[in-house]
Amino acid sequence: MIIEFFSQLLRFVVLVLLQVLVLNNLQLPGVFNPYIYPLFLLLLPLRMPLWLLLLIGFLSGLTMDMFANTMGMHAAASVLLCFMRPQVLKLIEPSGGYELTDKPTLSHMGFRWFATYASILIVIHHLFFFFLETLEFGQVGFMLLKIIISTALSLLLILLIEFFFFSRKSR
């Protein structure tokens, strides 16, 4: 239990640092805005109660907001992701249901399952986040391009990170 807690915490710290020190500093054109920190929320234990999930989502979103000066936007998007997570898990439940030892990771559930799971939730998260950003700016065409490119890029990065780093440890 304690080991589980610290490994989750470590993953959170690593992802946040990677996000704010590397990805947020990529000097790329504005349409490239990948966010990988939601991977932390995807990998939280399967049977975590929803209220705890929501609180963790809110706090991790606020942490991102603090670094990115986007007060509240990451928090709102992360809370939505956490709220939708159980529904999505139910939607893509394997025919026999989840086992007690199952974890929502690539190595446990296979690539197809994890890719579907991550895609749905990341799209929800990014759509809501960029929607909130558009409210402020209102450049719809530019934002659509940004949503498509950034979401694709985030997903690619999340799958790569999960494949090469995180899931290797648990194998």
CB of 170 to another protein, least distance (A): 28
Residue ranges in 87-146 that form contacts with another protein under rule CB under 8 A: 132-133, 136-137, 139, 142
Is there a contact between 34 and 129 (Cβ–Cβ < 8 Å)? no
By the rule CB under 8 A, 47 interacts with another protein:
no
Point out which span in 50-58, 92-100, 110-118, 159-167 binds another protein (CB under 8 A): 50-58
How far is 100 from 166, CA to CA, in rounded Å?
20
CB of 88 to another protein, least distance (A): 15
DSSP calls for 21-42: IIGGG----TT-----THHHHH
By the rule CB under 8 A, 45 interacts with another protein:
no
Point out which span in 53-61, 102-110, 118-126, 159-167 binds another protein (CB under 8 A): 53-61
Point out which span in 59-67, 92-100, 103-111, 161-169 binds another protein (CB under 8 A): 59-67
Residue 158: exposure state from Cβ atoms within 10 A (0-12, 13-18, ≥19): buried
Structure tokens at 26: 């990529």
